Structure 1
C-alpha cells in the first residue's frame, strides 16, 4: 500500500476516534474468513495513543460495488474486537443490518 493511502487511513482513525495513530503492520483476512461471502482483503493495524480505552485500531478500504468509489473503515481494538477478523465481522454485520 502506498504511503498516501496509509496516511489517509491514519487520518480516518484519528478523526473518527481521536488520539493519534501510527501504522504497525498489515494482515490478510482472507485466510481467516470463517465462511464464504465474508469480506476478505488486507486490514492494516495501527497503534493508537491518546484514546481513553483503545491502544490499537484496524483500518481498511473496501470498494463500493458498481460505483468506482471506496469506503474507509476504522474499528478500535476494544470489547469484542480482539483483532482484524473481529473488526471485519463487526462491520459486515452492521452493514448487513443496515441494508
Structure 2
C-alpha cells in the first residue's frame, strides 16, 4: 500500500488538488467500506455478454519495477446496463481461471 503522503502526492499530480493526511485517511476509510460492499455483492446468474481485458502497467514492488497485468471482467446485463464484475492484479502472465 501507499503511505498517506504518497496518496496525497498522487491526487496532487492527477487532479491538481492538495489533500491533508486527515482528508486522505478519511477518503481511504470511506473507500474501504465501498470496496468491501462491492466485493461482497450478489452477482446475477446470467449476463448477455462478458468481456475480459488486460492492461499491463509498470508496477513497483519493493525495489524493482516490472510489468504486471491488471485484468478487468465487464458485462452487458439483460436490462441493457453494463457492470464491472471484477478487477484483479496478477504479477505474472498465466492462466487465471
Higher Cα Rg: structure 1 or 2? Answer: 2
TM-score normalised by the chain length of structure 1: 0.30
TM-score normalised by the chain length of structure 2: 0.31
Q: Which has the higher contact order (CA 8 A, sep 6+)?
A: 1
